[in-house]
Chains A and B, each alone.
Chain A
Amino acid sequence: MFESPSVDAVMAAERAASFTKRSIKSDAKRAGLELALSMLDLTTLEGKDSPEKVRALCRKAITPDASDPGLPSCAAVCVYPALVKTARKALAGSGVKVASVATGFPSGQFPLEIRLEDVRRAVGDGADEIDMVINRGAFLAGRYREVADEISLVKEACDHAHLKVILETGELETLDNVRRASDLAIRAMNEAGGAHGHFIKTSTGKVQPAATMSVTLVMLEAIRDWYLETGQVVGMKPAGGIRTAKQSLHYLVMVKETLGGLMPSANGAGGIDGSGEHCPWLTADFFRFGASTLANDVLRQLAWLKRGVYMASHDFSEA
């Protein structure tokens, strides 16, 4: 099919760790935290989810902190397919997207027809974005064509909805596999009408380890190489295990230092840091955080910057 470059795991870990050593203070910190907030897919994926919990989460996504209405809304609310209608109604007119996991999430161990029907229903109920899981069993057995074909079929079933392909990197064993799965997912989406604007995503959040810095770095490099080859911008979503505001800044630094500088603007002006470059991955259109507890830590840090007082966790709503 294609050749993926191999990954030096030691150097990937080293490089990923280097992104945690930047000093980000005051105005830059506030801008980074607000950006992270706007990139959040506020997620609830539990067996005990109820419509009221989803409605509460939707309210939080629209207005993350009622005491500071100037803060941006989150990017999306991510729920199970059965709750898509509830979320759609609660988010109507807000600009916050409805994301639904589908394809027999989180295992994906269901017949293909059922997985595809899962997707069609979620889209029919109003999901803007579909988070699918790949067939890890087939991938690890080397049946790459089968995995790719399934991704293409799911992408077609998504119709107008954006697709996020969950690689479940915690089950892929090696970074070489992570790179290969990234390349495969991007190419499979491309075969079904183009990969531009669609995402690859690390994890379901149900398997440990979930998102790590080195896994995300490898996936960002796959995205970079695909952009350089085709000009298509593929999105990235690390999910699971990102709980602190500081971690979210580490990830944003990694995005900037891995995918920044690819698109200098024509007149050399603008850009997020005034350097004149346009980096689409530093917007919610192409980068997301999948998390449930990250929002409140970001809000606590923003409140500290604004008020100079350490906040308690009970100062913010749980959902």
Chain B
Amino acid sequence: MSDRLEVLKTSKLFIDGKFPRSESGRSMIVHDRAGKVLAHASRASRKDLREAVEAARRAQPGWAGATAYNRGQVLYRLAEMVEGKAAELAALIDACESGAPGTAAEGGAGEVRACVDRLVAYAGWADKYSQVLGCNNPVAGPYYNFTVPEPTGVVCVLAPASPSLLGLVALAAPALCAGNAVVAVASGASPLPAAVFAEGVATCDLPGGVLNILTTQQDELTSHAASHRDIDAIHAAGLDAKNTELVRAGVAENLKRVVVRSLDRADWFDPRLCENPWWIEGFVEMKTMWHPASV
């Protein structure tokens, strides 16, 4: 009797609430920091990006139409799911993420805790941000004048390499809590935590298509995401000079909203920096209404 063969998980994409392989049939080999093969991960192509955007576009009106309270509940549920996968996620982060110290508060376990806390924070903001960002404007006439934030639509997240999971969650959660649908492209350097996170998303009551997660070499999707006319905004971090240029060139024609963040690894863990409504503000459109005062 020979030794039992290890069964390794091949991670797949997460599009429209399902786990398809890349339509291109490609995969990439993921190594741990010691150079050992950890797993194969699906490598998304531009057509997978297109499918994900279609799914997000279909799902977005329903998600935006859910009550703010309900969106908060669902995001809280997502936090619960991540908590349940904490050990698996922490081990993957410690095994392969560059810059993770291994055991300290900012290692894998710490990063997963921060993810959970970040999701809980934005679950809380779901029914509060519009009171903070919206306003009742003084006007000289028999009218009320309100400004209220509405979701921008489909947001593409380009996650940083480190912290790969916290970066993805921190970029996606503010957009999600405001009723946007998200297509998140995980870092090519560390795709496995995002792929396992997707398993949590699939079981958290988030409607299919609201959050889609692609693993690939980000470079090959950057310009397609930027020029895609059905993506309304980009929320990115950790872009190198070349990819920053690709984003600039792509959005020049369609003028979508772009927020590119540049944070040190430690900054991502700081709730005072990362958990506030100004992270949401980039992904809402302000609508101002005039309403007769005495009708």
Contacts and interface: CB of A to CB of B under 8 A. Distances in A.
Interface of A: 308-313, 315
10 contacts: A308-B227, A309-B227, A309-B229, A310-B53, A310-B224, A310-B227, A310-B230, A311-B229, A312-B230, A313-B57
Contacts of A309: 227-229, 253
Interface in B225-243: 227-230
A310 B57 contact: no
B50 interface: yes
B252 to A, nearest CB: 12
A223 B275 CA distance: 66
B227 A313 contact: no
Contacts of B229: 309-312, 315
A311 B231 CA distance: 9
Nearest to A308: B227
Interface string B129-167: 000000000000000000000000000000000000000
Contacts of A308: 227
Contacts of A310: 50, 53, 224, 227-230
Nearest to A303: B229
A310 B253 CA distance: 12
Interface string B40-53: 00000000001001
Contacts of A311: 229-230
Nearest to B47: A310
**Which 10 A-B residue pairings sit nearest by Cβ, starting from the closest?**
A312-B230, A312-B229, A310-B228, A309-B227, A311-B229, A310-B50, A315-B229, A310-B229, A310-B230, A309-B229
Contacts of A315: 229
A68 to B, nearest CB: 15
B interface secondary structure, majority? helix
Given A309-B228, A309-B229, A312-B230, 16 more contacts: A308-B227, A309-B227, A309-B253, A310-B50, A310-B53, A310-B224, A310-B227, A310-B228, A310-B229, A310-B230, A311-B229, A311-B230, A312-B229, A313-B57, A313-B230, A315-B229
Interface residues of B, number: 9
Contacts of A312: 229-230
A259 to B, nearest CB: 30
**Which among A311, A312, A313 has the highest number of chain B CB atoms within 10 Å?**
A312
A313 B228 CA distance: 11
A312 to B, nearest CB: 4
A309 B57 CA distance: 17
Contacts of B224: 310
Nearest to B230: A312
Contacts of B227: 308-310
Contacts of B253: 309
Contacts of B228: 309-310
Interface in B89-126: none
Nearest to B225: A310
Nearest to B232: A312
Contacts of B57: 313
Contacts of A313: 57, 230
Nearest to A311: B229
Nearest to B50: A310
Contacts of B230: 310-313
A312 B254 CA distance: 11
A308 B57 CA distance: 20
A312 B228 CA distance: 8
B44 to A, nearest CB: 14
**Which among A308, A309, A310, A311 has the highest number of chain B CB atoms within 10 Å?**
A310
Nearest to A304: B50
A310 B49 CA distance: 10
A170 to B, nearest CB: 25
B190 to A, nearest CB: 27
B222 to A, nearest CB: 14
B16 to A, nearest CB: 15
A194 B226 CA distance: 56
Nearest to B224: A310
A300 to B, nearest CB: 9
Nearest to A315: B229
A104 B295 CA distance: 48
A60 to B, nearest CB: 19
A36 B53 CA distance: 25
A308 B50 CA distance: 13
Contacts of B53: 310
**Which among B53, B57, B224, B230 has the highest number of chain A CB atoms within 10 Å?**
B230
Nearest to B228: A310
A269 B177 CA distance: 62
A45 to B, nearest CB: 24
A310 B45 CA distance: 14
Nearest to B46: A310
Interface in B244-265: 253
A293 to B, nearest CB: 13
Interface string B61-99: 000000000000000000000000000000000000000
B253 to A, nearest CB: 7
A311 B230 CA distance: 6
**Which among B53, B228, B229 has the highest number of chain A CB atoms within 10 Å?**
B229
A247 to B, nearest CB: 15
A244 B53 CA distance: 16
A313 B61 CA distance: 14
A315 B50 CA distance: 16
A297 B253 CA distance: 21
A308 B229 CA distance: 11
A203 B228 CA distance: 35
A313 B50 CA distance: 13
